[in-house]
Chains A and B, each alone.
Chain A
Amino acid sequence: MIIIPTINLTMAATIAVLYAVGFYLLLSRSLMRVLIGVVVLGHASNLLLQLAGGPPARPPIIGTDPAAMADPLPQALALTAIVITFALTTFLLALGYRSFVLVGHDEVQDDVEDRRIGGQKADPVALESADDDPPDDSDDPSSDRIASTDDDVEAAATGERERP
């Protein structure tokens, strides 16, 4: 068995390019690109897993010289990983399709609620009462708020209600 599986320069460059491209695609807004990025990253990590076993050698099938045999474990792990990546790819593909059907395009939208909070101009959401809120953005689908009937603070302070 090989003791030092130092990854050679060619393979290191390949890994670097694959990861970089995968990351680059992953950071885009188009879901299809993200998906392709995931596939590329999957290839990259499977390749890396296989390389972690050591440099090229004979297939690990009994009959060859064990000393010249490739490390079988990373192969088995990579095989499992390939299947899993495949499963995830198909799922993401379906999700992308579904998104396309529902939204009409396949770009990842920003979160509406986050944007609303980000757009608040430091208007604190008051703690004590439900009634002194800053007005919501108009694009809030549920903005037809119910008017509240709050009583007079002064009346509260004089404790009229305690009278039986």
Chain B
Amino acid sequence: MSTVITLPVLLPMLGAAVTVVFARSPVLQRVVGVVVLAVVAALAGVLLVVADGSGPVVAELGGWAAPVGIALVADRLSALLLLVSTLVTLAVLVYAIDQRIADYGRGTASTTFHPMYLMLSAGVSLAYLTGDLFTLFVAFEVMLTASYVLISRRTTATRVRAGMTYVTVSLMSSLLFLTAIAMVYAATGTVNLADLAGRMDALPAELRTVLGLMLLVVFGIKAAIVPLHFWLPDSYPNAPGPVAALFAGLLTKVGFYAMLRTQTLLFSRDEPWTLMLVLAVATMLIGALGALAQNDLNRLLSFLLVSHIGFMLFGLAVFDAESVGGAALYAAHHITVLATLFLVSGLITRRTGTVALDQMGGLVGTAPGLAVLFVIPALTLAGIPPTAGFVAKLALLEAGVGAGSGPVAVAGVVIVASLLTLVALVRVWVRVFWGEPRPALPDDDPDDEVVVGTAATAAPMYAATAGLVAVSLAISVFAGPLTAMTDRAGVDLLDRGPYRVAVLGDAP
């Protein structure tokens, strides 16, 4: 098992190296990409089963017991998110490959796409699995740098600004992260998370708060918490379609995962976290209102993404086993649903030639399949039963109402935000799928990745999107075992014991 846990990190890296060395063979690149990710997904599944059955899986790299060496840890939370993320990554890769084939033909290789894509996947895996604060920094850098390259792969005059915003803000967060690590080391003398948990407790409470808030800001930038979120709606929508889907699905959730992991493991608290409740309310409302003001489909989705980060923050803020488990479940479903919506948005754009809502219409008649592909994730995001979004939201609500009057009030805001989400999505439906069918706009930029017209949309692109829809439906169908597991994950997270024992041995 300890080997299995390293492979989700090392295999994609190896794949990236191979795809660079053999960059002249597009077929090999595609095969390597898909096979590697499929294997990683399978391994993640194995890890999840094992971690749920017999406790966290730990790999002591190089045979050095933590805290001397770096430990990779797969507990329920990380294995679950790893599995869902990898499935999304795989589906988006299939989509992207077929989009490329549809647009450029089979023979064109891409020098940067496949290697960067695999490196991004490696970074994400490492971020989920690492049990070391500094390695988390490295993982973030691998992931983010790959994302910088991917977002600036097709820089045009309009897109370069989005790339700038994204890169600059992310760099700032990275440097603040490094600063925070230095502070943590200055105060505690260790960077191993399990070891830190013990040493943090020995710090005076006020100083612990300082460190906790510092890490909160650092990860909050990546997770796009209000008021650290402004960069997101300005950058994601401008990325190429599949890339935007991947970012929207994964990156913010990795940020949230890091927040969840560090806050629960390092900074235990006994009652709801008022500051976080406030941030959650702000994030939910400002994101949802932002979505209502947009005319660009991708921007609208980006704002909804921000809004729903607030839902997870709510789970974290309540800070009990139930709510933290609920937040984990919410994150898992959110990864799939956002990626799906962005892929659907890509398909819509290919058909209509625009992302402007007021330029589209009538797709329910001309593309009924697309309508179905949109409706299911849209309902999921809005939390309408019986979708996964409903189950996850219910988990959060239940945890919230049991935790005192503050959380109950915020639960009310969750309801309001859900309604606003629905309003925004209904607007998309009304404007894109209802109304008069309109002719596709002429392609503004004929040689970019978006080729307008149905003929150029490969069936596998639909299949990949449908696959993600299926994943999201599966979360709903298997909500029973899943919620039971996220509940156990929540208990583990707050208990901290199993994690520390698994990493450090019996006497932490």
Interface residue ranges, A against B (CB under 8 Å): 5, 7, 19, 22, 26, 31, 34, 38, 41-42, 44-46, 48-49, 51-53, 71, 73-74, 77, 80-81, 84-85, 87-88, 91-92, 95, 98-99, 102-103, 108-109, 111-114, 117, 120, 125, 127-131, 133, 136, 141-142, 145-146, 148-150
Contact = CB atoms under 8 A, between A and B. Distances in A.
A142 B445 CA distance: 12
Contacts of B295: 113, 125, 133, 136
A6 to B, nearest CB: 9
B155 A52 contact: no
B185 A53 contact: yes
A12 to B, nearest CB: 12
B358 A130 contact: yes
A118 to B, nearest CB: 10
Contacts, number: 140
A148 B435 contact: yes
A88 B145 contact: yes
B163 A127 contact: no
B157 A130 contact: no
A130 B435 contact: yes
A127 B430 contact: yes
A74 B171 contact: no
B484 interface: no
Interface string B412-448: 0000000000010011001100011011010010000
Given A52-B185, A130-B435, A149-B436, A95 B164 contact: yes
A38 B171 contact: yes
Interface in B353-369: 354, 356-361
A22 B186 CA distance: 22
A130 B431 contact: yes
B178 A98 contact: no
Given A128-B430, A130-B430, A42 B175 contact: yes
A95 B165 CA distance: 11
Contacts of B354: 142
B249 to A, nearest CB: 22
A47 B325 CA distance: 39
Contacts of B158: 112
Interface string B41-66: 00000000000000000000000000
A94 to B, nearest CB: 9
Name the prevailing secondary structure of the A interface residues: helix
Nearest to B423: A127
Nearest to A47: B182
B168 A34 contact: yes
B436 A49 contact: no
A98 B178 CA distance: 28
Contacts of A52: 182-183, 185-186
Contact of B161 (A73, A91, A108, A127): A108
Closest 8 CB pairs of A and B: A52-B186, A49-B182, A45-B178, A48-B182, A52-B185, A52-B182, A41-B175, A111-B234
A142 B141 contact: no
A85 B435 CA distance: 51
B500 interface: no
7 contacts: A22-B175, A73-B185, A91-B148, A117-B294, A125-B295, A148-B436, A149-B436
B299 interface: yes
B168 A26 contact: yes
A31 B164 contact: yes
Contacts of A53: 185
Given A38-B175, A52-B185, A142-B354, 12 more contacts: A34-B168, A42-B175, A45-B178, A49-B185, A74-B182, A95-B152, A98-B160, A111-B162, A113-B295, A117-B294, A127-B426, A130-B431
A45 B179 contact: yes
